[in-house]
A and B are shown apart, each in its own frame.
Chain A
Amino acid sequence: MTKYQLWDPKAETMSRDEIHAVQSRELKNVVQRVYENVPFYREKMDALGVKPEDIHDAEDIRLLPFTEKSDLRDHYPFGLFAVPREEIVRVHASSGTTGKPTVAGYTRQDLDNWADLMARSMTCAGITSKSVVHVAYGYGLFTGGLGAHYGAERIGATVIPVSGGNTQRQLMLLKDFGATALACTPSYAMNLADAMENSGMDMSELKLESGVFGAEPWSEKLREQLEEKLRIRAFDVYGLTEMMGPGVAMDCPERCGLHVWEDHFLPEIVNEELQRMPYGTEGELVITTLTKQGMPLLRYRTHDLSCLDDKPCACGRTHVRMRRVKARTDDMLIIRGVNVFPSQIEHSLLKIRGIAPQYQIVVDRKGSLDTLEVQVELDRTLIGDTVRDLETLSARIAAQLASDVLISCRVKLCQPGSLPRSEGKAKRVIDNRK
């Protein structure tokens, strides 16, 4: 037996053969469902000459088509749902590439599975029915808040649904309600830690033991800092809206990668030619949802760089481990938990008169929070002799970006011709966080 508490020991400690059998069975089912109910998948499979009958084994996944983020956009909002809209009981969304969000729909069964997987994940972080879980992920279309909420509630913990923002109040509640676990983005956790320091809060007044942090890539160094400042054990939770939300994979106390819950998801690593790579090879993580009803996705390209390891883990869980995500294969930035593509910013800037189509994005981490500065070159004709018009312009750009990209940023107006040009692809993004 394992020295750790498990939420669902039977599922979490299945033998590799049992997992393979479950995956084979569920893959057949999901392929059947999408082929019958989602025209997009039927067309893709027909084009590849694959029928649901061709899928006998989890290994047959190699026959199936990939799904891109752009496919979700092309079928916005509900085009990839595999059940009638009446059966969808909830919708979540994350920001997309052109201002249209990426949408996910959940049936009642999907929400039930999600709560269960989040319960599994949070149990990895030592959360039990005796815990008090302070959820400071944003509640709403973002999957973080409600995902963590229902997971902790499923465990039977006391859930404090604080959502994001109002840091001083969060500090008060953390202390007064005696939270034992904190769930939020790692950058917000650091923000809270800094605020505690600044307010001279006595850390011994807190009962915090663990943190469930995710929705953005974070380094081992940040983990160490969070653990030291908050006096907790910090756990990495992985997920994405397209798959479900947080709880696709989770750190265990052994810290040798995140267990991907393989009875619900089938992870693969592919190389740049989209060929499947063996365990241990670094590449792009591709995930197939095995049990999702509302919006199942086949071989979804996450663009997260990782590698898989199926060697036994000392925690007792048998599910394959993915290495913590540190980088992406595309240019998507994750800023304060919000997905931002440079193309989105460009798209947004093009709507504004008075600026040249030259821009640069500078991402940094000031103290604990990610900062985004958008530098734009002014149109020569717009530069006058007063600052008023330019300040108005700057405010308009910031408002447009806040509305399209859902993130606040600092706008810096630059002299025409001052931003660096390069032959071919311009260097648009400077990420100083690494």
Chain B
Amino acid sequence: MYVKQISVFIENAPGKLADFTRILGEKGIDLLSLSIADTTSFGILRGIVADWEKASKLIEEAGYTVCLTDVLAVEVPDRPGGLAGILTMLSEKGIEIEYLYSFVRNKSDKALIVFRVPDTDKAQAILSEHRVRCLSQEEIASF
């Protein structure tokens, strides 16, 4: 049960991020989660949207390049040590985390965190063994 993440290359210059987010606003695209990896000259904005097909089409039409990646949207117990427990499960089986970030919005009482791992299938199998739930794109879309 994957979720599609969109990532967009954005130059690190004044106003560039504002330009991009304004386009999202004009096109009615809502970011359910968001993170930015930045360097001095550029950044990569990553996020989850309800309808990634429509969003990536609209973003590309606006002149940006979209990269799609399968990520896991993991329900993490919202208490001290909740995230640590999940990371330990994964690291014990040799799964490395490329990056993670949390959702902006959530319906449940659990924290919802995006995991990007090299082997999504394996990570998901480990998590389900431990009864940790990963949300599907459909569930996300209903937020």
**A contact set with B: CB distance below 8 Å:** 378, 380, 383-387, 390-391, 394, 410-418
Contact = CB atoms under 8 A, between A and B. Distances in A.
A387 B44 contact: yes
B99 A386 contact: yes
B7 A385 contact: yes
Contact of B42 (A384, A390, A416, A417): A390
Interface string B12-43: 00000000000000000000000001110111
Contacts of A414: 11
B52 interface: no
11 contacts: A380-B65, A383-B9, A384-B69, A385-B67, A390-B44, A413-B9, A415-B11, A415-B63, A416-B65, A417-B63, A418-B63
Contacts of A415: 9-11, 63-65
Contact of B65 (A383, A387, A411, A412): A383
B41 A383 contact: no
A386 B65 contact: no
Interface string B43-70: 1101000000000000000011101010
B124 interface: no
A410 B42 CA distance: 13
Contacts, number: 54
Interface residues of B, number: 21
Contacts of B41: 394, 410-413
A417 B62 CA distance: 11
Contacts of B64: 415
The 4 closest A-B pairs by CB, nearest first: A385-B7, A385-B69, A383-B9, A387-B37
Contacts of A386: 37, 44, 98-99
Contacts of A385: 5, 7, 44, 46, 67, 69, 116
Nearest to B10: A415
Nearest to A379: B65
A380 B8 CA distance: 11
Contacts of A383: 7, 9, 44, 65, 67
A366 to B, nearest CB: 15
A413 B42 contact: yes
Contacts of B116: 385
Contacts of A411: 41
Contacts of B37: 386-387
Contacts of A412: 11, 41-42
Contacts of A410: 41
B35 to A, nearest CB: 10
Given A385-B116, A416-B65, 14 more contacts: A378-B65, A380-B65, A383-B44, A386-B37, A386-B44, A387-B38, A387-B42, A390-B9, A390-B39, A411-B41, A412-B41, A413-B41, A413-B42, A415-B11
Nearest to B63: A417
Contacts of B99: 386
Contact of A384 (B7, B10, B11, B38): B7
